[in-house]
Structure 1
Amino acid sequence: MVDVFEVAKIIVERIKTHYPQDVAIVGYYGSYLQGRATERSDLDFFFIPATVRGREVELQFIIEGISFDFWPIPWDRAERIAAFEEWNTTIIADCELLYVRSPDDLARFMGLRETIAALGNSSNTLKLVQQAETALGNCLISLAKLRLPASPGDLSYCRVQAHEIVTSLFESFCFLNQVYYTRGWGHYREQVRQLPIKPAQLEQHVDTIMFSRSRDDILFACEQLIADTLSLISERRASVEGARSYRDRMKGYYEEERGLMNKLLTACEKGHYETAFFVAIGVQDGLARMLYSAEKGSWPSSLDSGEYRTYYEQFGYPDLIALLNPIDFEPLRLAVLSLIEKLEKHLKSEGVPLNQFDSVAQFKSFVLSCS
């Protein structure tokens, strides 16, 4: 059995001799740290380069049939890992250090662990829910590939896409529960079983994905898991949304958006349907999202299926999109004028300041008063 720590010692001695100022941290994690190593286990080790030259110590090699990958994690990536922007947080949280260049490097590294320790706090819940949404969004790409008419019908292709879906779902679960996994391939399920937030039929559907030889059954299991996870994310998001605030979230919005509304009026007057089409949809959808944000205290989910439009409809804003007509632009033009009037009144009633001036002289006075 290869003495992996003797291997690590050789690499660290090389760093001390030839790269003493170029490598900040060397650490190891995984099976040897957790006491689960087998005779075929390599040493999972990494380094944080301190300079560009430090990247030169990266090395992949094989000793007695055991592969080793001494790989770099730049400081900025280590910070992303510590912030749960990647889901291999255990590398930073649980590693054992083999080499540290300086006390400052050690303090910086321990600061990353403090960041990880704080990620279970409620103040980070919304951020991690959003990352769970991003992970689930990746599932939709693989699901779409499976559903395409031209999608290969063989089982191998189906399993590849299902594998992508399950992997992204496991990632989503760790974000939803504000935890990180300490073990990798082949051990996610046993860790997910301990999580409070997970689909009720998770085991059944994952078994179908892993063992079934029916493409239709695998596709159905993927669809159900995605739908169930989306529901969990929506519930979690609803429980942590921020405070209602128009002044904070819509200050300056109208002044900027008025330019698009003017463009839409001009398109209506000139009968330019293509401009009207794109601008009308952009204005209506953008305002719907802003109203949701002001009311709910957070931006609509990237997986929102249109629920964010509720407030736009509730407040009686005109449906510009439904009025798009290449033959008759007048109803749309009148609707835009109505929208401008309604939005101004709405924002003023919510205490949102509007910087509108009747003349350049009036604007000049305003600017001078702000000096």
Structure 2
Amino acid sequence: MQVTEAATLLIKKIEQDYRDDIAVVVMMGSHLYQDTHPKSDLDLYFIPKTERGYQLGFVFIMQGIGFDFWPISWERIERIAKREERITAIITEGKVLYHGTAADLERFNHYRLMALDKRDQKRLQHLAYKQLQSAQAVWFDCANASTTTEARRHAISALFHVVESLALFNGTTIKRGRGKLKTEILAMPFVPDGFERLYDAIFVSDQTGIIKQSMHDLIRSTRSLYERHHDRLPKEDFKSLATGFYEELINHYHKIERAVTINDAHTALYVAREIENELAWLFADSGTTPPELPDLIEAYDADHLDVIGQAAKQHQEMLVAYFTSRGVTFRMFENEEELEAYLVSL
């Protein structure tokens, strides 16, 4: 029996008993590319329209091959299309084998187009940075691994994030992955320096230190790539980006002030770094050189929090002065009457 015949049987069951319950059935994987072997599995998922539709999801083994006919909600499909999960290719590359109605197919194709849309380069770049940050977090475990096995285990986990980050930065998706992954990355327009060498070392080296260093260097090289090409994105006007920014940031200064008062060193340091991160995004997105501001992390001393407290006050005053010099205004109300008057004017 051909593996793909299993799909035919499943669709026949839908047409007979679940026509009103299933929106689409989608095939993924090696069968799409005619790149199979005798034990290639069949990757199928379906989108239910009713609670009853979920009952059709099941896993089984036939002729020694595992099958997973798994349900996935429209809500999750939308999240995947927005690149909130790493499995975007199940939408962009999947082949629709069945659709209940024309509206069902149209809805699926809408999410396919959404997943393929790379016009919002700024959003894709932000998502790329987030994935790279996740890779850095995982690399911490890699760096502390005591054996080659543990180092390789954590390096592979970090690689998942790095390759998804690169796909986002390049405005594309990982289509095949695994054994085809290196070829996919190398074919992208923007590739980190030394990618192939560092990537291969993680798989072939038997030395713990080399695996750790290769993963570290790959993350650093990827970050350098992003920094070099950040200017390829259109910059937004600083004034428009900064409008409304301080009205939210002011509460961070309040948190540092409170942390100093109650001697909460943890909060003081966390918030100081949060302020730095928020400002870094603002200035990077606008292509603006940031002004000289007090270094809040340098001012941090767990035993003398008053130092960071004073630095935060100075930081706030200087930032307000800078914003004002750039024509940024702040929406402030002295009391409820002023707020009410503003609401009336809307």
Q: By the TM > 0.5 criterion, same fold?
A: yes
Task: Give the TM-score, by structure 2 length.
Answer: 0.84
CA apart distance, 1:248: 4.2
Q: Does 1:215 align with 2:208?
A: yes
Q: Which residue of 2 aligns with 1:140?
A: 136
CA distance in structure 2 between the aligned counterparts of 1:83 and 1:360, rounded to whole angstroms: 39
For residue 99 of structure 1, what is the amino acid of its counterpart? Y
Q: Does 1:127 align with 2:118?
A: no
Structure 1 residues 85, 252: CA separation in 2 closer, same or farther (over 3 Å shift)? closer
Q: Deviations over 1:169-210 (max 9, x none)?
A: 222221221122321321111222212211232222222211
CA distance in structure 2 between the aligned counterparts of 1:169 and 1:77, rounded to whole angstroms: 23
> Any conservation in 2 of the 1:83–1:115 contact (CA below 8 Å)?
yes
Q: Which residue of 2 aligns with 1:297?
A: 285
Q: Does 1:171 align with 2:164?
A: yes
Q: Does 1:180 align with 2:176?
A: no
> Any conservation in 2 of the 1:255–1:355 contact (CA below 8 Å)?
no
CA distance in structure 1 between the aligned counterparts of 2:25 and 2:137, rounded to whole angstroms: 37
Q: Share of identical aligned residues, percent?
A: 25
> Any conservation in 2 of the 1:126–1:237 contact (CA below 8 Å)?
no
For residue 141 of structure 1, what is the amino acid of its counterpart? A
CA distance in structure 2 between the aligned counterparts of 1:202 and 1:169, rounded to whole angstroms: 11
Q: Which residue of 2 aligns with 1:189?
A: 182
Task: Give the TM-score, by structure 1 length.
Answer: 0.79
Q: SS of the counterpart of 2:84?
A: coil
> Any conservation in 2 of the 1:132–1:233 contact (CA below 8 Å)?
no
For residue 322 of structure 1, what is the amino acid of its counterpart? A
CA apart distance, 1:61: 0.7
> Any conservation in 1 of the 2:148–2:207 contact (CA below 8 Å)?
yes
For residue 349 of structure 1, what is the amino acid of its counterpart? S
Q: SS of the counterpart of 1:186?
A: helix
Gaps of 5+ in 1: 300-307
Q: Which residue of 2 aligns with 1:95?
A: 94
> Any conservation in 2 of the 1:41–1:66 contact (CA below 8 Å)?
yes
CA apart distance, 1:108: 0.5
Q: Which residue of 2 aligns with 1:302?
A: none
Q: Does 1:237 align with 2:226?
A: no
Q: SS of the counterpart of 1:42?
A: coil
CA apart distance, 1:214: 0.9
Structure 1 residues 285, 7: CA separation in 2 closer, same or farther (over 3 Å shift)? closer
For residue 213 of structure 1, what is the amino acid of its counterpart? D
Q: Which residue of 2 aligns with 1:349?
A: 325
Q: SS of the counterpart of 2:330?
A: coil
Q: Which residue of 1 aligns with 2:75?
A: 76
Q: Which residue of 2 aligns with 1:311?
A: 290
Q: Which has the higher contact order (CA 8 A, sep 6+)?
A: 1
Q: Which residue of 1 aligns with 2:9?
A: 10
Structure 1 residues 142, 20: CA separation in 2 closer, same or farther (over 3 Å shift)? same
Structure 1 residues 5, 94: CA separation in 2 closer, same or farther (over 3 Å shift)? same
CA distance in structure 1 between the aligned counterparts of 2:245 and 2:315, rounded to whole angstroms: 17
CA distance in structure 1 between the aligned counterparts of 2:300 and 2:135, rounded to whole angstroms: 35
CA distance in structure 2 between the aligned counterparts of 1:14 and 1:251, rounded to whole angstroms: 55
Q: Which residue of 1 aligns with 2:246?
A: 253
Q: Which residue of 2 aligns with 1:61?
A: 60
Q: SS of the counterpart of 1:24?
A: strand
Structure 1 residues 14, 279: CA separation in 2 closer, same or farther (over 3 Å shift)? same
CA distance in structure 1 between the aligned counterparts of 2:297 and 2:311, rounded to whole angstroms: 7
CA distance in structure 1 between the aligned counterparts of 2:7 and 2:141, rounded to whole angstroms: 43
CA apart distance, 1:106: 0.9
Larger radius of gyration: 1
> Any conservation in 1 of the 2:256–2:309 contact (CA below 8 Å)?
no
> Any conservation in 2 of the 1:244–1:295 contact (CA below 8 Å)?
no
Structure 1 residues 117, 248: CA separation in 2 closer, same or farther (over 3 Å shift)? closer
CA distance in structure 2 between the aligned counterparts of 1:22 and 1:234, rounded to whole angstroms: 48
Aligned match of 2:299 in 322, 342, 365?
322
RMSD: 3.5
CA apart distance, 1:105: 0.4
